[in-house]
Amino acid sequence: MPMIPLEPISLETKLFFLSAVEFGSRLFRGPVAPDRQGMAEWLELVTLAPAELVNMLPDDRPVLPGMEPDFALPALLARLTEMDDATQASQLPEAFARLFGPGAAPGAVPGADGAMPLMAHQLALDLEYLIALLAKGFLGGAPDMAAQAGAMCRDVLAPRLADLEGRLAAGDHTGVFATAAAVMLHVVRDLGQKL
């Protein structure tokens, strides 16, 4: 039986969640095309979207014990601002390829985790599906879809993101992808509690 939210979720909060989930999906999908344009668009998303999300933080964000009211977004911004533009342009694509690219198999790169490319791909797909559920549930008049989104967040995405965050803590030398996984974990946990 679907859970009924005790208090309505504001439009501001719905838009924040949709935008945050879209950011996570696009981040972990990687560049749409491996060419210069695709890489530039992806890098722009990685570097600019966190600040936009901070500006979108809803007024009714979590205040429950153990929940970060800022969804760890300032930590992600801090990681990004530690790097200048040239460093971002060189390190972030290289780190993504090392962590999540097709060559990121054990032995191919020292310390590479062979499960990570599949984990990132599956996470991107799951987050795209979550966007569809949220859009229909929040904006399309289908509250049962919002309930499905909440169950997906609790049962599927929160455990996967916790696992990914732990793996990235050891392998992400930029800290950006590990922190982005933490942001997404906070977002899906809050969605799981609200829906």
Rounded Cα distance between 165 and 177, Å, is 8
pTM: predicted TM-score of the whole model, two decimal places? 0.88
Number of H helices, E strands in the chain: 8, 0
* Block residue for tokens 């344009």: 37
| Token pair for 143 | 């509250």
Per-residue pLDDT of the chain (195 residues; tens, 9 = 90+): 454 444 578 999 999 999 999 999 999 999 888 788 889 999 999 999 999 999 999 987 766 676 778 999 999 999 999 999 999 999 999 999 889 986 544 444 444 567 888 899 999 999 999 999 999 999 998 989 999 999 999 999 999 999 999 999 888 999 999 999 999 999 999 999 999
**How far from each other are the two terminal CA atoms of the chain, in whole angstroms?**
12
